[in-house]
Structure 1
Amino acid sequence: MKYLLLLTLLCIAGLATPAFAQGQFKVLVVAIPNRYHHDYAVVAKPQFERMAQRHAFDLTWSWNSTPFDGDLSAYAAIVLLNTPGDELKGPQRERLASYVRAGGGVVAVHRALIFNPPGEWPWFERLIGRTFRIHPMVQTAAVRVEDPAFPATFGLPAQWIWTDEWYEFNAPVTHGLRTVLSVDESTYDPSRIWPGQTARGMGKEHPVAWYHAYDGGRVFVTALGHTPALYDDPLYLAHLYGGIWWAATGQGIDEPR
């Protein structure tokens, strides 16, 4: 009798599950392996799945660009996780642009900030807001919170010790970028780079995360996220989810942007 009751309860629970399966919004994560960024995804995927469970949103994970062959309108946000725009070809690019123009949110993480060859897709470079210049070797540095009122900083200390590739950028190609985090170049060596290359840093103002409204949509950009082990870090995951939440909903900031 006890086992029959247990079986009945399990069946009821199984029938009830679909009623609670619908999350508050749907997120597409595109994580296409590339030469320098492939091991990270093995760590990141289960963490994003846990993030989706914890924060009650629906997650679609893709290892390739095929979602851009179809309708993107179901997604409140698209996360380009170490996936640059040059992975999208032909009509896929126009589908992303149409998605953004319809009010969609985009989160660009680390390698997604680098487009090759530069200048081939100006719309995407303006979506990111800045163009990549170079980066020195991975080093530990102090990150400063520049905008404590933005959700991607809510879980971070005012100064945060972090180890990463410190991307350098050219002048902004888009107006209205709001800096969220910057790195203090006095806490690492911007010139520590491979033979034959030169890096000089950006100076006092060196943004590593920002957000803006662009072409009808919302865009959050973070240059952090090179090393696979970083995707196990609770502070980094909180940083990512804060950006995803804002990109998906527009919530969490005090005033309209």
Structure 2
Amino acid sequence: MKKAVKIILWSVLSLVLLVVLAGAVFFYKIQNGFPVSYETEKPAINFPANQPAVLVFSKTTAFRHGESIEASKPVFKQIGEQNGWFVYETEEGGVFNPEQLKRFKAVIFNNSTGRVLNDEQQQALGQYVEAGGSLIGIHGAGDNSHHWSWYETNLLGTQFSHHPIEPHLQTTDVHVETQVDTTLTHKLPQSWALEDEWYVFFHQPKGAKVVSYINGDQIIPNGNILWTKDKNFGMGKYHPVAWYRTVGKGKTFYTSMGHSAKVWQDANFVELVENALRWSLQ
């Protein structure tokens, strides 16, 4: 009898340890990503003549918003076809070289998470933007897994803290600012309801102009989970969810919306992304 009890206790303990270990690995990956190899071979790209080129980069090494990424691809393709833009989608970092980057009018970090580029590729992207290129980030592109100071300063202007846990997805109204570049607000209503995972940042984005925001007092921002006990705060009534800035001669735009596949069926969200592309190509 005692032997059976010991076996049961050891089995339970082992299971608990496995759960704790799995949780630790999960949180480490979310915050840091896992070590990966970096693609350095230049891809063969046939750039059509007289078509602005857009690079959609969906590589991840940390948490992967797989459903959103897959749902976005046909949307980007359709946007490109409707506007006469060449859309090149890849998860291979070899395209981030000065020669090929300068062929693109805009680069989209499409829910890219973790360290996805090596030092030389990061430098090439930074120089591309500062020389007149455009960088657009969607949702996961703004989490805290990138560990790249230029990127955090020039795309975000703030630092990611957490997202709500319970409930995870929440519906609230997205409000559109009026005192901003009208290209970014084209065809958008003054507000619309959207279900999403609402990222909480430590402070307002510095040096940026906000395009849209939510009332942070109307969501439950609590991000506490397991041993994390200091994430029960939000950004207050004025909670930005899309903003833009100039960087040298270039531009950046970021939206924290875009967690799930469902958002890519929302006409207003898609319009915002299309507007951001149109603005970046000006």
TM-score clears 0.5: yes
State yes or no: 1:157 paired with 2:189: yes
1:139-154 equivalent positions in 2, closer than 5 A: 139-147=170-178, 149-154=181-186
Residue identity opposite 1:217 in structure 2 = G
Residue identity opposite 1:39 in structure 2 = E
Structure 1 residues 138 and 131, CA, compared in 2 at 3 Å: closer, same or farther?
same
Question: 1:27, 1:57 within 8 Å by CA — same for their partners in 2?
Answer: yes
Cross-structure match for 1:121: 148
Which of the numbers 231, 246, 251 marks the counterpart of 1:213? Answer: 246
Structure 1 residues 52 and 232, CA, compared in 2 at 3 Å: closer, same or farther?
same
Which of the numbers 131, 138, 141 marks the counterpart of 1:112? Answer: 141
State yes or no: 1:90 paired with 2:90: no
CA RMSD across the alignment: 2.1
In 1: Cα distance, 2:116 partner to 2:273 partner = 22
Distance apart, 1:22 and its partner CA: 4.0
In 2: Cα distance, 1:99 partner to 1:225 partner = 25
In 2: Cα distance, 1:133 partner to 1:64 partner = 28
Structure 1 residues 140 and 239, CA, compared in 2 at 3 Å: closer, same or farther?
same
Cross-structure match for 1:55: 83
Q: Percent identical across equivalent pairs?
A: 28
In 2: Cα distance, 1:205 partner to 1:154 partner = 22
State yes or no: 1:168 paired with 2:200: yes
Question: 1:164, 1:225 within 8 Å by CA — same for their partners in 2?
Answer: yes
Which of the numbers 212, 216, 227 marks the counterpart of 1:185? Answer: 216
How many residue pairs match? The answer is 226
Cross-structure match for 1:3: none
Q: Deviations over 1:27-77 (max 9, x none)?
A: 100012453311222211111111100111111111232211452001011
Whose radius of gyration is greater, 1 or 2? Answer: 2
State yes or no: 1:26 paired with 2:26: no
Question: 1:153, 1:180 within 8 Å by CA — same for their partners in 2?
Answer: yes
Question: 2:243, 2:254 within 8 Å by CA — same for their partners in 1?
Answer: yes
Distance apart, 1:226 and its partner CA: 0.2
Distance apart, 1:104 and its partner CA: 0.3
State yes or no: 1:203 paired with 2:231: no
Residue identity opposite 2:177 in structure 1 = E
Distance apart, 1:102 and its partner CA: 1.2
> For 1:213, what is the secondary structure of its paired residue?
strand
Cross-structure match for 2:94: 66
Stretches of structure 2 lacking an aligned partner (at least 5 in a row): 1-47
> For 1:87, what is the secondary structure of its paired residue?
coil
In 2: Cα distance, 1:172 partner to 1:145 partner = 16
State yes or no: 1:235 paired with 2:262: no
Stretches of structure 1 lacking an aligned partner (at least 5 in a row): 1-20, 250-257
In 1: Cα distance, 2:262 partner to 2:160 partner = 23
Q: Deviations over 1:175-228 (max 9, x none)?
A: 2x1011011123322227545442311112211100100132111111110001
In 1: Cα distance, 2:233 partner to 2:204 partner = 18
Question: 2:177, 2:212 within 8 Å by CA — same for their partners in 1?
Answer: yes
TM-score, normalising length from structure 2? 0.74
> For 2:115, what is the secondary structure of its paired residue?
helix
